[in-house]
Structure 1
Amino acid sequence: MEDQIKIIRTTSENHDFVSLVSALDKSLWEAYPELKSNYWGNNIIELNPNVVIVYLDDVAVACSCFKKYDRNTIEIKRMFVSVDNRGKRLAQLMLRELESWAKELGFTVSVLETLYKQEAAIRMYQKAAYVITENYGPYVGLKNSICMQKQI
């Protein structure tokens, strides 16, 4: 039997989002203990009205969000799929939902930052037509960051 997939739009106050982000932070600090002091400030999500959560059979298994970067641009943040649910194209579903939502709000460009060891994520973003660009904003000068962008 195939999993029932449901994607919802919500806010950063959603308890499932908070739990998934906690799991994301734990996984990042385990993979990149040396970067914690450099990146912690960039990963704090203030109240955010643009969150998506993926549910498989009514269990929250993936999340992401975007925030306004400038007048035309959103920044994708906190993209996470639980370990047991990777390889099911859930990140692609979330990315399409976020881009669609951003377009509805009048944005035309999406940017994001990921870390160099996140090879599967980088490949997924490239398949979704994101291209590597110069580091922007808080990531300028951070050699471990890979910044990407796409017209949406």
Structure 2
Amino acid sequence: MKFEHKKVEPNNIDFQSLVAELNSSLSQITQDSGESSFSLDAFDSLKDGCIVVYLNKSAVACGVFRYHQGDICELKRMYSNTSGAGTYLLEQLESYAIEKGYKNAVLSTRRVNLKAVNFYLRNAYAESDAYGKYVGVRRSICLSKALVTSQ
């Protein structure tokens, strides 16, 4: 399969459509759409990035990274409805984050969302200390990865 991607703003119609699918999927898995964890208004195109992945001109995956602190970005709103698109998306998001100067990535997902947890573990993310609003929240798992290894 030949995936393509576009760097977009979060108000992009394809991104919005995929996020609606994500919200529905998360609601079924976790009883929470996750919408409260991402605000379009907080998106800063100087520091943040948003990608939509396409297969045969159809939007099949989306994701965002945003400034977290220092040289660390946080991955948000990751979703794929097509096999293989998630891995492609993650690779593109990580490359884009590196372009913007990030050296590490963090994220949080619900422990019950085993598909997501296992996806990130397969892609070299490791469980890490909880951060921000996830501190003390046992239903969440925080993961991190070095995007750039020290020379």
Q: Which category of TM-score, normalised to the shorter sequence, fits these structures?
A: 0.7 to 0.9
Query: Matched residues in 1 for 2:51 and 2:7: separation?
Result: 5
Hey, what does 1:24 align to over in structure 2?
A: 22
Aligned partner of 1:15 in structure 2 is 13
TM-score (normalizing by structure 1): 0.86
Matched with 2:63 is: 64
1:144 aligns with 2:139: yes
1:81 aligns with 80
Q: 1:20 to 1:108 in 2, by over 3 A?
A: same
Whether the 8 Å contact between 2:29 and 2:113 is mirrored in structure 1 is: no
Unmatched segments (≥5 aa) in structure 1: none
Name the CA shift for 1:64/1:89 in 2 (closer, same or farther; >3 Å). Answer: same
Supply the distance in 1 between the matched residues of 2:27 and 2:38 (Cα, whole angstroms): 12
CA contact (8 A) 2:71 2:104 kept: yes
Number of aligned residues: 143
Q: Closer, same or farther in 2 for the Cα pair 1:40/1:53, shift >3 Å?
A: closer
**TM-score normalised to the size of structure 2?**
0.86
- Alpha-carbon contact 1:11-1:47 (below 8 Å) kept: no
**How far does the alpha carbon of each residue in 1:10-47 deviate from its partner, in whole angstroms, 9 at most, with x for none?**
110211001111111111122222x56xx553233435
Matching residue of 1:113: 108
Q: Distance in 1 between matches of 2:42 and 2:18?
A: 16
Task: Give the partner amino acid of 1:12.
Answer: P
1:84-116, Cα deviation, whole Å (9 max, x unpaired): x2xx22111111111111111111110001111
1:116, 1:146 within 8 Å by CA — same for their partners in 2? Answer: yes
Check conservation: 2:134, 2:140, Cα contact below 8 A: yes
Structure 1 SS opposite 2:117: helix
Equivalence for 1:92: 87
Q: State the partner residue of 1:101.
A: 96
Give the superposed CA RMSD. Answer: 1.6
* CA–CA separation in structure 2 for the residues paired with 1:135 and 1:61: 30
SS of alignment partner, residue 41 of structure 2: coil
Matched to 2:28, the amino acid is E
In percent, how many aligned pairs have the same letter?
31
Contact 1:111 1:149 in 2 (8 A): yes
